[in-house]
Homo-oligomer: A and B are copies of this chain.
């Protein structure tokens, strides 16, 4: 059901033909031609950047890094809103239409996920919220598959690509759903082409017509392997270049300041540069500047050889391939220029703040590189390599396919580009060369650079958990106790509402631990912030205050005129209330006398004019007091002092836990859990945080942040927190086997056992609180 919505995005690419039409209509004057050629993309990109910036800045970029983070379990709500959806669709349409080397697979993934998320929200009006929430992630995972699948009409490759790109651990049952959704979307995407009479029946998007009998010679395999290895280096270089550009733009403060002022200037300048260079009568004639990405690909995948006989004849009826023919330069020079120019152009263009992906440009560059190798091979062996029997000439188009799969695989660190290529070309005959090249490219690229998406995650500083590297054995020696935060926010069973309020003001974790008491620290469960807020709001709500005032009025009336008989049989509860607050105006004897904290509730009493409805429960730390603010704004204009007093009293009441919804089994780790195991558990279960308990007592909490710091920190040893004395001690002590360290642990355990005969005394707690007071 989620794939229907993504279909409307398939209509977005009309705009690039408009540019050609304008360009073609003005062939009398070169300057006018140039202006038309350049103005069009600059306007489109500027509009796209501006629109995205105004409506939803989150829509800029690929979207796959964000989806990876979201599927990891981190909530990035602003990335899945209707606003983002609109910004992404409009921005992507304009960006693609501009003719810059930008891709659409990342934005498509994001758009499909947005559809899924919005659909989920929409469906939750009908079904139970609970049910849908648990399905949300599964829907998103399927949506990612749909995004890629409908972008390339490649259902299988789409599912695999989305799995590789977004997941660390994958549930096989989601896989089935992904296939279902992706097949459906690819089907409809291609059926539209048939219905539009563009094609006779459903075929591949970039259909190739390579020889089936003898697709390639076995002796060509080394050439394919070379493509793979070179693509691996190229892919790593691309990721590096892309990151370098972003970091350069950030560091250069003078440029940066200037660009910050005129937000649209940077995109416009980049677009101007790129489109000037690709202006067909200018430098563009050496790099086939007049072709769109799709036309370029079609010409690369062509199964005729360009270097050999019959060049002009063949090119006459195929306008796309004619672009590669130049009177002065031969094909090799043009291909090299194309590759070099497109390489930095793509790396630069993908840094623009518009919705765009890097897959398609890289794919094209890879195809160009493959074509280059293929043409060289064809020039080298004009009669083919096979010596005995029939002559099978070399097919450079096959090399182009291999190169495209290898380079895009290297940049994204995926193997499934091979499958995408099969589905894209409709031919699987080159399966072995493609697989070999893709695997080699991956092996090289993965050892040099992170994938483009991981690189963006690092640049954007998204809360993602990095992979544990290979062979970093020191990481196995870090334990949870070394990285956990010992100063945990918690509430106890006899907390007052004031404690709640203070916790809400300070903490920033999404859940708060519930312990039995501050002395025992036995972890009973965890409560969501939202719950706490709702509870507090309800306790200080207008209704309760009005009731209180009414009650007091009644009591006042009663006290003044004792004669009147209390005939309140209806509203027995009110009588109770009356009595309570009659007393509470005097010295409080009802609630246990607690030392009222001298600190006034400053943020709660600050009157703000935010009258907007807060239907969504706020989660960021900044608006933690908003529940209070709201109710204070909404109250009738009575005596502020009196109400403040009432609130103070209310805050000192003990929390009534009966209506709470707590998680009775939050995830617990033991202090000796290794970093490796913690990482696995966090990745597997998609945890945001876990409590660390020692024999039932809460002693710390580990969140993604600490874990990330520990993983990154252990490579570049810095800071005491990451590697405390204990860890280094273990390092020095256990240069030998791991059993030794276990024995050391046991020693400690043994010592403890003998020294502390009664394990349940409160001594360890005092040391805990000491640490807390640091």
Chain A residues packing against B (C-beta within 8 Å): 130, 155-156, 160, 163-164, 167-173, 175-176, 179-180, 183, 186-187, 190-191, 194, 200-204, 207, 209, 212-218, 386, 389, 415, 418-419, 422-423, 426-429, 431-432, 435-436, 439, 442, 467, 493-494, 516-517, 520, 522-524, 657-662, 664-665, 668-670, 672-674, 677, 680-681, 684-685, 693-697, 738-739, 742-743, 745-747, 749-750, 753, 759-760
Q: How far is the CA of A256 from the CA of B746 in the complex (A)?
A: 55
Classify the interface of chain A: helix, strand, loop or mixed.
mixed
Q: Is the CB of A658 within 8 A of B747?
A: yes
Are A665 and B672 in touch, CB under 8 angstroms?
yes
* Set of chain B residues within 8 Å of A662, measured between Cβ atoms: 742, 745-746
A428 in contact with B439 given A415-B176, A493-B753 (CB within 8 Å): no
Contact B426 A212 (CB under 8 A): yes
Which residue of chain B is the closest to A470 with respect to CB atoms?
B173
Q: Which residue of B160, B517, B750 contacts A493 across the interface (Cβ within 8 Å)?
A: B750
5 closest A-B pairs by CB: A696-B696, A695-B696, A760-B760, A665-B670, A664-B672
Of B201, B738, B760, which contacts A218 at CB under 8 A? B201
Q: Are A215 and B187 in contact (CB under 8 A)?
A: no
Residue contact A520 to B657, C-beta cutoff 8 Å: no
Known: A156-B431, A203-B215; 20 extra A-B contacts, CB below 8 A, are A130-B738, A155-B435, A169-B684, A176-B442, A180-B439, A183-B432, A183-B435, A203-B212, A203-B213, A426-B429, A426-B431, A520-B759, A657-B746, A664-B672, A664-B673, A665-B669, A665-B674, A684-B685, A694-B696, A760-B760
Q: Cα distance A677–B666 when bound, in Å?
A: 11
Q: Are B163 and A749 in contact (CB under 8 A)?
A: no
Query: Which residues from B are CB-within-8-Å of A156?
Result: 418-419, 431, 435
User: Which of B164, B520, B743 sits near A660, CB closer than 8 Å?
Assistant: B743
How far apart sit A216 and B186, CA to CA, in the bound complex (Å)?
Answer: 16
Set of chain B residues within 8 Å of A672, measured between Cβ atoms:
664-665
Complex: A627 Cα to B215 Cα, angstroms:
63
| Residue of B168, B201, B203, B693 touching A172 (CB-CB under 8 A) | B168
Subset of 29 A-B contacts with CB under 8 Å? A156-B419, A156-B431, A156-B435, A163-B172, A168-B171, A169-B169, A169-B171, A179-B435, A186-B432, A187-B436, A201-B216, A209-B212, A419-B419, A426-B429, A427-B427, A493-B750, A493-B753, A494-B753, A520-B760, A522-B696, A523-B695, A664-B670, A664-B672, A664-B742, A664-B745, A665-B673, A665-B677, A684-B685, A694-B696
Which residues of the partner chain B approach A170 to less than 8 Å between Cβ atoms?
Answer: 169-172
Chain B hits for A747, CB < 8 A: 658
B695 touches A522 (CB 8 A): yes
CA distance A431 to B159 in the complex (A): 14
CB distance from A544 to the nearest CB of B (A): 19
Q: A591 CB to closest chain B CB, in angstroms?
A: 16
Are the CB atoms of A746 and B658 closer together than 8 Å? yes
Query: Given A176-B415, A207-B212, A660-B742, A670 and B670 touching (CB < 8 A)?
Result: no
Closest to A439 in B: B180
A428 to B421, CA, bound (A): 11
Partner of A439, one of B179, B436, B670: B179
Contacting residues, chain B, for A213 (C-beta < 8 A):
203
**B439:A660 contact, CB within 8 angstroms:** no
Q: How far is the CA of A203 from the CA of B210 in the complex (A)?
A: 13
User: Closest chain B residue to A659 by CB distance?
Assistant: B743
Complex alpha-carbon distance, A156 and B434, angstroms: 11
Enumerate chain B residues within 8 angstroms of A418, measured Cβ to Cβ: 156
